[in-house]
Amino acid sequence: MGTYVTVPHSPHADGTVVYDFRRPMTLAREHARTLEVALGTFARQWSNQLMARLRVPTQVSLDTVSLSTYDDYVSGLPSLTTLVVCAVGPNRRPAIMQFPLETALTWVDQMLGGPGKPGAVPTRELTEIEQALLGDLMLRVLGDLNYAFEGIIPIDVQLRHIQHSPQVLQLMTATTTVISARFDISAGEQHATASLMAPAEGIIAALRESNAPDQRSAAQEVAEQQQRELLDRAVQNAPVEVAVRLAAVPVHPREVVHLAVGDLLPLHHPRTQPMDVVVGDRVLAQAVAGTNGSRLAGLVVNVKENS
């Protein structure tokens, strides 16, 4: 029998904690450790994605992982915030990525070439264009959950929409058990706390299955190992297209429609800023321009972790 971590309900104003023994919020210690490792990997990937898009020093770290009801999670959120609603897992269950609205506005400002100073943009709801920019960023960020939870459960994130008021969200019943993780984010001068919430049922079932004893025979293990080695060799020899690209330039559709020979398209990429080395639209490294004989080349100066 495993050791269990108990996560109580939210405390009342007088400091007392209500605990429902009919519905204990417990998480096996080995399951908690597995989630911490997976979410820690996701945090590092998230940091890489932010650094590539915002062009500022970025650090994302996992703070806590807890088990609670959906109502407890939602009631602990600010009344006005950023809620990225998505569907995850084989059953397309709803999940939420939450972070402060001020942080979202700062990120959008930086992606549009602004300074991204904290408080420079008045706190307000995002416009449709801002939601599209933020949605593209978060789709890439949440896509790294597939890598982080590989071997545990397929995530396959689908972004649904962005909301600002947690009180209007009715994604599941109030008593549904959920797993939530809290992250600390530092991007340039901006510091914030974010959270990720998903229903616990599918994740815990997958954790129990992954921790079950291995029933394979020795012959089956040898055969599977040989198949993995064959696949690894095939992947190593498969050709892929590598691109070295500058930072994207946001322009109005009318400017694109009327582009003509001789037009000058200003680039906001600083001369001292390395370019991205990209494979399949995933940033793997950063490089500076150079030459190899009579041809242009990219000199790699930084490799992204776990790329």
Tell me, yes or no, whether 29 lies in a domain. yes
CATH number for position 149: 3.40.1550.10
Tell me, yes or no, whether 41 lies in a domain. yes
Confidence at residue 50, expressed as pLDDT on a 0 to 100 scale: 94
Confidence at residue 10, expressed as pLDDT on a 0 to 100 scale: 47
Confidence at residue 83, expressed as pLDDT on a 0 to 100 scale: 97
Confidence at residue 271, expressed as pLDDT on a 0 to 100 scale: 79
Give how many domains the chain has, as a whole number.
2
Tell me, yes or no, whether 255 lies in a domain. yes
Calculate the dihedral angle through the C-alpha atoms of 99, 104, 110, 113, rounding to the nearest 10 degrees: 160
Confidence at residue 117, expressed as pLDDT on a 0 to 100 scale: 82
Q: Do 53 and 105 have their domain in common?
A: yes
Residue 293 belongs to domain spanning: 240-303
Confidence at residue 49, expressed as pLDDT on a 0 to 100 scale: 93
Sequence-distant (6+) residues with CB within 8 A of 122 are none
Residue spans of the chain under pLDDT 50:
1-11
**Final residue belonging to a domain, choices 191, 210, 229:** 210
Confidence at residue 215, expressed as pLDDT on a 0 to 100 scale: 62
Name the pTM for this structure. 0.64
Q: Do 46 and 187 have their domain in common?
A: yes
Q: Do 15 and 162 have their domain in common?
A: yes
Measured distance CA(288)–CA(302) in Å, rounded? 10
CATH number for position 292: 2.30.330.10
- Taking only the tens place, the pLDDT of each residue in 208-227 is 887 656 667 788 888 889 99
Confidence at residue 304, expressed as pLDDT on a 0 to 100 scale: 81
Q: Do 261 and 131 have their domain in common?
A: no
- Taking only the tens place, the pLDDT of each residue in 232-278 is 888 888 888 999 988 888 888 888 888 889 888 888 888 788 999 99
Q: Do 126 and 201 have their domain in common?
A: yes
Q: Do 181 and 276 have their domain in common?
A: no
Q: Do 18 and 147 have their domain in common?
A: yes
